[in-house]
Structure 1
Amino acid sequence: MKLTRQQVLAKAKASDLESVKKLNCWGCNLTDISIFSQIPNIKVLTLSANSISSLAPLAQCLSLCELYLWRNMIPSLSELSHLQPLTHLKVLWLAENPCCGTESNKYRMTVLRTLPHLHRLDNQVVTNEEVNLAVTEGDVVTTPPGTNQTQLPTNGLSEAEAGNDPGNYNMEETNKIREELGMKPLSRDKFPSLSSPSTKESKSLRKTHTLDAVLLLLGDMDREELHVVLTATQNRLQAFTLHPETLKDSLLTHKTVDAQH
């Protein structure tokens, strides 16, 4: 079962993924947690009693402090390599996974060698002596073979989701206007990458980011171009008070004025 954006927002009672700080998905029969590549600010995460086998999506959860993975299907301690960038991670519960093996001391030493910043492992306090001992008695873990380290240009979104990204919409609309004004298009890095909004949020988000696009354009315009925008804005404001038929004629006139400029 794949954990979806809608499920996360419902469980966390949040309006967007970036505001999710705590999430409990105990016993949800999960196998796919790829959604966490879009939840960077989560701090406490419970995924115990599921069927999760890969920790790769958690590599971008840099604010994570507590992670509960008891009784899952994590096959190898090499999966812990995905948690090494999480320097704030202090509590980890990994017991009853296949990766724990039968040698409990070797398992604990390897985990602590890989994640020496832990304060508690499997509900047992980690001591400084254990961390020092783990340097020699623990195994070195490497990234699991076949793990895709390449970052997607759409910030982890699928192509279908990226098509609904307000950032993409913002960029296309802005560059379309710039082209009409004879200006060079802006590159993708000028626009913030956003998680795909729900249908309900899409309309308000697009309005907000269209305004951002206009303001971004103004910063690059010279006096003559700003005068064109001022004239177009005045015509547009006047059009709101006109009869629908008159509004149509006004817009056609506005296009003619733009063409002349």
Structure 2
Amino acid sequence: MEANGRAGRDENVKITAQLLKLKTGQFDLESILFLKLKNIGICNLGCIGDCVNLERLDLSGNDISNLTPLSSLKLLTVLNLSANRISNLDPLNSCENLQNLNLSGNLISSVDALRSLSELKNLETIRLKDTICNFSNPVCMNTSYRSAMLEIFPKIKVLDGERISGRGSDLYRLCKDMDASLKEMCSSGPVGELPGPKKWVEDSYWELKPMWKTQSDEAVEHFYNILKECRELNNKAADVIAKAERRLILK
């Protein structure tokens, strides 16, 4: 599927020890902590389960449907499975330390298919749709999708890029409301074009790199980033209002 970044690459790739060593430079699979294997046509996860100390894994843009080999990755905290062919999530219920899970652009058809993940007590962020990349799942079309997700994952902090609870949730909703107001003002008359909305999750979010910062440092930095966005939106709003007032005066 070209829309999922599957065009122009090898197909039917199986993960082997040789492939892992080539990609990471590690000769001992148990030494691999971070692994990025996106858009290379993987259809068989092979020996990925031998990387028992793996913490971050990016398998986006492949042809994966069977997740069974991932069940042995007990230390996995971040997993990107976007743009694959996944419908069964049961093997992931063994990944007890999983905190961040991206499943956008797959074949998950019902909320029931997600219930196997309800035992993941550390899960804070889950994504089934991504409007930036135009990825989704059939289940997202269900009118009760959001409420069902919050019922299954009552402690979730971020759903589909929207902060539901925890630090920044009120600010996020404020930014979202301000952005919606700006769009409405712009559509009411030709008062100048504004740049499109910023991504809530930046492109670098899924980069597999060591986490040097503490969670408290990240929370503070995240807070100030949101505050910065609020100021930018406020400046844009003031600029739009000023332009509209000048147009009214000229009339």
TM-score, reference length from structure 2: 0.46
Question: Looking at CA atoms only, which structure, 1 or 2, has the larger radius of gyration?
Answer: 1
Structure richer in helix, relative to its length? 1
Higher relative contact order (CA 8 A, sep 6+): 2
